[in-house]
Structure 1
Amino acid sequence: MSSVSLGRTFATIGTALLASYVFWDAHCPRNTRRRIRQKLPANLDKWRIPGNCVQDEERIWLQLGEVLDQWGFTQWQHRAGSILRAPSTAPQLSSGFGYTPLARTTPIWLGWFEYTNPLCRAVRTREGHDVIIRVIVIGKEGHEHLKILRKLATGPLSLYSENHALPMFAELQFEDIIFGVFPKVGGSVLRAHGYWPRNSVGDIVDMLLQMLEIMKALVFIHSHNVAHRDAFMDNFVVQWQPESLAAKKISISRPRIYLIDFEVSVQFPEDCPIENRVCVGPPLGGSFPSPEMYKRQCPPEVESGKPYDPFKLDVWQLASSLHKFKSKIPAIDETLAAMTDDDPVCRLDAQQALDRLGQIVASMPPESLLFEPEGAFKFNSDTN
């Protein structure tokens, strides 16, 4: 989709949301607001983990149903576990963020959404665009997250091609809760290898080049003194899975990858000396208020209790997510290994990884990468 068309999509979605939001905000009785708010979680932690079962998660969004309806949203239906299914009655329009290749024969996968926690919800606008609503602020929590999103995902910085932060269409406020509205993208990069997509080494290396574009995303946000601190694969989404193994050829068009979830990100002031741009301990913030809540893998420097470079942490997190991926091309696999070096001094930074992987891939014809990576999931020939 061209930048002009995409810009029109942003404008259409944003204008429609704003109109519904302003109307309801002006006409909703105060006692109705209070009644709904009292039923919702008091903080981000309780919204992330509202109970011990899926029903507790569903209850939150059912209680918000009246608000979402008035804002012009149709909620996706709960299917099973953490999977939501697109509504069958509402119209559907492309917003330029999610596609499926012809080799897949049907866009059925675009009608599914698997959430990592109940802070986010898939909905469809009145005009037929699928978007994700994400709880960002509750009371005094989450304001740093919102500040970073406003800087990277809206305004002039969101227009740079090097910036892969997923754009934020709108902010909607209900009482002390601020929601961000984001486009629903095709799917998670986490599914690119070892799951249903029939991606070749070339597809995944292109994602490495898009993970070079991902690395560009990290280079871009790093140049603005923002460290993501949760740069694992499940926080990157892709417009579509290329699946060149199914098509038996390398496509000319390639999907764009976006970076999401800045909840535990940190931003340093422009005048902060480089040696002072450090963190101590695991990445905390928002719905991760204490070390006991943090369950992700950590490199040695994070567990040391000493100050460390959070930008090197981003690189380690990204590469460690790829530990099961083997391209069977030594130079690529060696570069990935260098991105997870236990010694942060020896570990490649984002720009070094970008330069090295870029040189490797540029020296190889695309057709030479049309083969299965090691550990790829095996499909029957009639699987769609």
Structure 2
Amino acid sequence: MDVVDSSPASRPTADEQCSTLYPHELAWRDRQPFLESHGYMLRPRLRPGWVPSWRVSGDNPWFCEDSHSLRMFPHIVDATRMSDGKLVSIKLVRTGSLEMRIALYLCTPPLCEDIKNHCVPLLDLFEDNKDASRSYMVTPFLRDFDDPLFDCVNDVLDLGEQYLEGLVFLHRSGVAHRDCTNANMMMDAGPLYPRGFHPLLGEFLPDGKTGTWPNSRTRCPVKYYFIDFGISRYFPPDVQSKLVIGGDGRDQEPPELSDDIPYDPFKLDVFILGNFLRKNFYDRFSNVEFMRPIWEAMTRANPDERPSAADALQQWQRMRKAVSYCHRSWRLKRREESRGWTLFLGLVHVIMVVHCAVTRSKCHVAFCLVMYNRRQGDVLWLRSCRYSAFPGDVAHHGAFHELNIFQSQTTCCARHRAI
């Protein structure tokens, strides 16, 4: 039996690890000149002739912007629109695919002009110059719906109303998403990061070195979007039967999913969105009990007993109006919080809101909980929390952020050494 040499000398160096391009990175690098001809520039790492910056500057590779590889989705890459510096996402799709056709349909007038349209905007679309069966869809670069984390209860109320509003729009337009769950729920974080952010290191500016802190959703509202119409279905107005078959989708809990028995995809959307609200908010936070009647109705086993998206939206709007001002303004309380931690955070919340209401000044209190590797003394992770209250807000909402900053320059080095 072969023995694996795990000695330090046998391990690849930091330069070797950071300078090696993955196969899909090589593919994007080879397409960079073509993308540039259409007005889009990839990051330095993905350009032909790239020379790692640390070999010139002498800096630690782990601290350099171009050391971070593209690992998440091989068919998607971030880029910069050269005309205005806008951060965009480029997705490789099959020409004429259902996803491509639905995206085009939802981004044509008058649908694209509807403020209730929460489908990711299509900025550009073009075929590959070497393979006509492949096309590139360009959209704004979006972040996960919960990145950064939420500040207060009102943020959850706003998210729920926006997604229900977007689902009503989709269904009214004849489109059933069929996969409206976590991975396909995004937001435009531009208002939270007015100076921009790095596409891979979300808590850093575009240079990948300078840390940044998000604004509050209360002060700077965001818009939430649906993405990925890969398994969606479009039904023209004159189609009578609006049923589908198939068990695809990330959420496998809907009881009607079947490869043989047709079911209503619109009622499926209602179930999936209700399940999304339950799992991400009701199950995690103890002070959003008010949403239980809605998600329970949306996730009934019998599709015929579920409300339509429009009815669910009306219920949500009535519920939102019934939630008191103080309740909406309060921070989200995790179910696993200890009593002592809850009292402490509640006290901080009250003190800061009162302070800002009295002084009319912007206040920030920051503290960090750092866990150390006792054997090596390396920082394993950094949990950073900030409380802020902003003057000028109608509700003087407080904001409490809890961010796991694994991309920080300090932790990044420690993590790679551990690997």
Q: TM-score range by the shorter chain?
A: 0.5 to 0.7
Q: 2:217, 2:316 → 1: CA distance? A: 19
Task: State whether residues 325 and 375 of structure 1, in contact with CA within 8 Å, keep that contact through their aligned partners in structure 2.
Answer: no
Shift of 1:261: 1.2
Q: 1:171 aligns with which of 125, 129, 153?
A: 125
**In 1, Cα distance between the equivalents of 2:258 and 2:306?**
17
Aligned counterparts, 1:245-284, within 5 A: 251=218, 253-273=220-240, 276-283=241-248
Render the CA deviation track for 1:339-373: whole Å, top value 9, x for unaligned.
22222122232112111111011122443221224
5 Å-filtered alignment, 1:115-134, equals 117-127=73-83, 128-134=85-91
Larger Rg: 2
User: Contact between 1:231 and 1:315, CA under 8 Å: does it hold in 2?
Assistant: no
1:1-384 maps to which residues of 2 (within 5 A)? 55-76=22-43, 117-127=73-83, 128-138=85-95, 142-174=96-128, 175-176=131-132, 177-185=134-142, 187-189=143-145, 191=146, 197-208=149-160, 212-240=161-189, 251=218, 253-273=220-240, 276-283=241-248, 296-303=251-258, 305-322=260-277, 323-326=279-282, 327=285, 328-369=287-328, 370-375=330-335, 381-382=367-368, 383=384
Task: Tell whether the 8 Å contact from 2:151 to 2:216 is kept in structure 1 after alignment.
Answer: no
Contact 2:76–2:91 (CA<8 Å) still a contact in 1?
Answer: yes
Q: 1:198 to 1:321 in 2, by over 3 A?
A: closer
Take 1:118 and 1:363, find their aligned partners in 2: how far apart are those partners?
45
Following superposition, which runs of at least 4 residues in structure 1 exceed 4 angstroms of deviation?
Answer: 112-116, 246-250, 375-380
Q: Shift of residue 295 of structure 1?
A: 5.6
1:184–1:115 CA distance, 2 compared to 1 (3 A): farther
SS in 2 for 1:359: helix
Q: Percent identity?
A: 24
1:3-31: CA deviations, max 9, x gaps?
A: xxxxxxxxxxxxxxxxxxxxxxxxxxxxx
Following superposition, the deviation at residue 330 of structure 1 comes to: 3.2
Q: Describe the shift of the 1:320–1:76 C-alpha distance in structure 2 as closer, same or farther (beyond 3 A).
A: farther
SS of the residue 2:80 aligns to: strand
Q: Is the 8 A contact 2:170 2:176 kept in 1?
A: yes
Q: What 5-or-longer segments of structure 2 have no aligned partner?
A: 1-19, 47-52, 54-67, 194-212, 346-365, 369-383, 386-419
- Of Structure 1 and Structure 2, the greater strand share is in 2
**How far apart in 1 are the matches of 2:313 and 2:253?**
22
The structure, 1 or 2, with the larger RCO (C-alpha pairs under 8 Å, 6+ apart) is 1
Q: Are the counterparts in 2 of residues 120 and 134 from structure 1 also a CA contact under 8 Å? A: yes
RMSD: 3.4
- TM-score normalized with structure 2 length: 0.58
Structure 1: tracts of 5 or more residues without a match:
1-52, 80-86, 88-111, 284-293
Distance in 1, matches of 2:69 and 2:159, equals: 21
Task: Count matched residues.
Answer: 276
Instruction: Name the amino acid aligned to 2:155.
Output: D
Greater mean alpha carbon deviation, residues 116-125 or residues 369-378: 369-378
Q: Distance in 1 between matches of 2:299 and 2:235?
A: 24
